[in-house]
């Protein structure tokens, strides 16, 4: 598979073993994952590839494990260069199902944006998770913070630098939204809780209002843990209402999330699009223009029988 040209690697020890007896020396790039500016790893990684690209037809990049799965650098290089992949094997001692595979580098980059990293490098205690390439001083430090906050611990890494997180078995152990959805679905199931099963959207709406009032009171008099607890009660009622609608075949939580995410992106073209604003008044103008267009689109849809 090595067809001449320079060889670059992100793992010198393993590459030396792979290349033993060939006389080929790989340029080690593992030090790039030690620097403090983790966000710049990709641009620093690109530099040697661009240098060699001008001089050679082929540049080989050796990475541990599967390469085409769970290696963020391979994915990013694929955006900039045409890659011919020769996948390896992600060697694990245990079997997993419903598994998430994520590069520790992706986790570290997400952590640099904390607390504005929600939705990045998504990790869920509800699923078996393999964190690959747990290497590099800065990558390990940042990824460890995110992983400890999500799972509560850092397991021993495997020989290939992977961390293994089995899915949470107990429902109460989850910190994932889908874990709450699962609990509510169980409570509403035929073998669930009689009180939860008899609830309707109409019966829950007054309770939701009460929970909002209790959260407001907690904001004024209670500490962070009590505030989080009261907000959890609000969220429970929203999930319960969505579950009841799911059972009735009217809408699901996916519909709720799809609607609000599309609306937020649509109403913030100055953040997610190419619209520029100069002040708050400009912001209100853009907001009102988008809402006006939404009303027109809704009227057209109704006029067409949609």
CA distances, 37 to each of 22, 27, 139 (Å):
35, 21, 10
* Residue whose pair of structure tokens reads 């699009």 in the numeric block: 273
Pick out the chain residues at pLDDT < 50: none
Q: Give me the count of residues in the chain.
A: 306
149-172 per-position pLDDT tens digit: 988 899 988 877 889 999 887 777
**Pure H helices in 134-176:** 137-151
233-277 per-position pLDDT tens digit: 999 999 999 999 999 999 999 999 999 999 999 999 999 999 999
* pLDDT at position 88: 82
Sign of CA dihedral 137, 138, 141, 143: negative
From CA 41, how far away is CA 155, in angstroms rounded? 25
* pLDDT at position 4: 67
Angle between helical axes of 224-248 and 253-266 (0-180°, round to 10): 110
Angle between helical axes of 104-112 and 72-80 (0-180°, round to 10): 80
From CA 190, how far away is CA 193, in angstroms rounded? 8
* pLDDT at position 232: 96
CA torsion angle 8 13 19 25 (round to 10): 50
From CA 107, how far away is CA 237, in angstroms rounded? 31
* pLDDT at position 212: 96
* pLDDT at position 1: 54
Sign of CA dihedral 217, 219, 222, 224: positive
The answer to whether the CB of 128 falls within 8 A of the CB of 99 is: yes
């Amino acid at each position: 598979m090595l067809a001449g040209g320079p060889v670059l690697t992100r793992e010198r020890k393993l590459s030396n073993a792979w290349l033993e007896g060939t006389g080929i020396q790989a340029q080690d790039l593992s030090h790039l994952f030690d620097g403090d500016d983790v966000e710049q790893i990709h641009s620093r990684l690109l530099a040697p590839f661009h240098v060699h690209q001008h001089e050679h037809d082929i540049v080989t990049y050796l990475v541990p494990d599967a390469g085409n799965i769970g290696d963020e650098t391979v994915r990013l290089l694929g955006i900039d260069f045409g890659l011919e992949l020769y996948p390896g094997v992600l060697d694990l001692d245990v079997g997993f199902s419903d598994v998430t595979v994520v590069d520790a580098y992706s986790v570290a980059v997400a952590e640099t944006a904390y607390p504005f990293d929600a939705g990045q490098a998504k990790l869920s205690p509800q699923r078996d998770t393999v964190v690959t390439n747990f290497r590099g001083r800065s990558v390990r430090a940042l990824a460890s913070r995110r992983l400890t906050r999500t799972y509560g611990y850092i397991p021993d890494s495997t020989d290939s630098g992977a961390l293994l997180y089995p899915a949470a078995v107990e429902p109460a152990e989850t910190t994932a939204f889908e874990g709450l959805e699962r609990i509510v679905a169980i409570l509403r199931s035929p073998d669930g809780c009689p009180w939860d099963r008899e609830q309707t959207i109409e019966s829950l709406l007054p309770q939701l209002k009460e929970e909002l009032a209790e959260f407001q009171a907690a904001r004024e008099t209670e500490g962070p843990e009590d505030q989080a607890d009261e907000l959890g009660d609000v969220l429970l009622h929203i999930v319960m209402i969505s579950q009841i609608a799911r059972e009735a075949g009217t809408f699901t939580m996916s519909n709720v999330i799809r609607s609000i995410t599309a609306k937020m992106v649509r109403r913030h073209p100055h953040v997610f699009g190419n619209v520029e604003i100069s002040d708050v008044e400009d912001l209100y103008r853009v907001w009102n223009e988008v809402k006006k267009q939404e009303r027109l689109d809704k009227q057209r849809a109704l006029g067409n029988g949609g």
